[in-house]
Chain A
Amino acid sequence: MADQSHPAGEAVSLSQAPLDAAAMRAAASDPGAGAILVFEGTVRDHSEGLTGVVALEYEAHGSMALKILAGIVADARAAFPLRKAAVAHRLGRVELGEPTIVIAVSAAHRDEAYRASRYLIDRIKHEAPIWKREICADGTSAWSRGCTAEVHR
């Protein structure tokens, strides 16, 4: 699957390439911002009942995921006085320590930035049709159990 961006509107993307947190931060920069918050979700070496995780492999329902991500960002803009917001999610194999998702938001004050970032990651985890497989050092792998998607719209 090639990298994908939402065709219009919100700055959301799905990428097969490593995510660039610095570029995301720059995209969130705004003269009216007193706070820029960049959240990176990263690959850790363990999961529920699983140790020795060396990588994650992500798949998505691309068109639907972009639409859902854009809707969540639009909702965040409506709920918080943000200057800018951008979300990028990885697809494909992501190695230990690498970012799986980057969320960059800017706001006049830190409180809105913190709250909006938390709002975005929580909703993305519960709504975006994205799946991950956990790959262990011994070569075994398993799809993450995940959660039933929530319907907000």
Chain B
Amino acid sequence: MREALKTDAEEVLLEAPVDERGLLERLAGLHPRQRDLFLASRVAVGDAYVRPGSPLQGLEAGVDIISPISGG
């Protein structure tokens, strides 16, 4: 994802609380060419995946977008 977007970080203004899906949809809207990648990703805050459907909190410190993983 870092290579696809050619950046390590991006600042996004959120006008209302969002959950994981809402944030990924927002990012997908900002980067339509990477839409599928964002929608297959997960959001992590403080080194932990957020629970799907939970409102995102602690966003001031930033979140990590975890694109599809392939370890092992």
Contact = CB atoms under 8 A, between A and B. Distances in A.
Interface stretch (A26-34, A108-116, A145-153): A145-153
B40 interface: yes
Interface residues of A, number: 30
Interface string A109-137: 00000000000010011111111100000
Nearest to B50: A151
Contact of B49 (A100, A132, A151): A151
Contact of B48 (A128, A143, A153): A153
Contacts of B64: 61, 64, 129
Contacts of A100: 72
A64 B44 CA distance: 9
Contacts of A129: 44, 64, 66, 69, 71
B43 to A, nearest CB: 10
Contacts of A148: 40-42, 68-69
Chain B contact residues: helix, strand, loop or mixed: loop
Interface residues of B, number: 19
Contact of B70 (A67, A145, A153): A145
A128 B40 CA distance: 15
B31 interface: no
B51 interface: yes
B4 to A, nearest CB: 9
A149 B72 contact: no
B69 A130 contact: yes
B55 interface: no
Interface of B: 3, 40-42, 44, 47-52, 64, 66-72
26 contacts: A41-B72, A61-B47, A63-B47, A100-B72, A125-B69, A126-B69, A127-B49, A127-B69, A128-B72, A129-B64, A129-B66, A130-B69, A130-B70, A130-B71, A131-B69, A131-B71, A132-B70, A145-B68, A146-B68, A147-B69, A148-B68, A151-B42, A151-B49, A151-B50, A151-B52, A153-B49
